[in-house]
Amino acid sequence: MNIHYEVLGSGKPVVLVPGLFGSINHLKDRGWVDLLSPEFQLIIAEVRAHGESDTPSDLTQYSLKHRMSDVIAAMDDAGIDTAAYLGYSMGSAIGFGLSEHFSERFNSFVLDGAHPYPKDLSWVKNLINDRRTQGLIPDDFDLTPFFSILDHEEEGTGVDPTLVQEPCFVFYGGKDHGINEARQVARELPNCEFLQLAGLGHRAAFEPSDELVPVAQRFLREHA
């Protein structure tokens, strides 16, 4: 399994993992690399079926366990023992898993757009199918691996938030589907800051903004 990652910037290490369909280029385009790389060493991992990483045909290879292993493999290859973690959507779900199974590798977690509880992601599948119908996704693009990821995500991560000891910063769009669960996990995490971005949906909540960026940067300065 070939997993692609890049190391950018300098400073304390921060592992970044984007959401479903996301890539290193998406994080660059959204401005996160320019915002964070002057202060932090960014290790950006593209988990399987994303970016330039391999896409296995065996659909059992998309479990949370496998995607967590992709992140740890990138850290090991880059020689990073411990780091802060920043994940969005799918990357956030992976972060919750890492907080239980690899807590010794992370100083803190910044998590957006996901929670550890079981969820109904049929709306995501419908959205993807609608985009294909609209011609926004090529007919020959194989969506099967991504739907397999969503099937695993619906089960939740199985993490008990009350047992997570590392500092966490959870932010969420006020119009996102999981906002109530986000409030719940923020209450249950023993050492958590929570920011609700009023009026924003799933994707918009991860766009750099005057409300979000200073808080995220301050959190990472304190806990990376």
pLDDT in tens, 34-85: 999 999 999 999 999 999 999 999 999 999 999 999 999 999 999 999 999 9
Q: Give tens-digit pLDDT for 144-174.
A: 999 999 999 999 999 999 999 999 999 999 9
The model carries a pTM of 0.96
The pLDDT value given to residue 207 = 97
Longest Cα–Cα distance of the chain, Å, equals: 46
Share of the chain above pLDDT 90, in %: 98
- The predicted pLDDT at position 139 comes to 87
Tokens standing for 170? 């959870």
Query: Quick one: fold of 4-115+160-223?
Result: Rossmann fold (3.40.50)
Pairwise CA distance, residues 147 & 49, whole Å = 11
| DSSP conformation letters of the chain | ---EEEEES-SEEEEEE--TT--HHHHHHHTHHHHHTTTEEEEEEE-TTSTTS---S-GGGGSHHHHHHHHHHHHHHHT-SSEEEEEETHHHHHHHHHHHHSGGGEEEEEEES--SS----HHHHHHHHHHHHTTSS-TTS--HHHHHHHHHHHT-----GGG--S-EEEEEETTSTTHHHHHHHHHHSTTEEEEEETT--TTGGGS--TTTHHHHHHHHHHH-
How high is the pLDDT of residue 26?
Answer: 96
Q: What residues have CB less than 8 Å from 55, skipping those under 6 apart?
A: 48, 49, 142, 145
Domain boundaries defined on the chain: 4-115+160-223
Q: Residue 81 has what pLDDT? A: 98
Place of tokens 């959870």: 170
Identify any residues that bridge with 169 across adjacent strands, giving them in sequence order.
Answer: 110, 193
Across the chain, what does the average pLDDT equal?
96
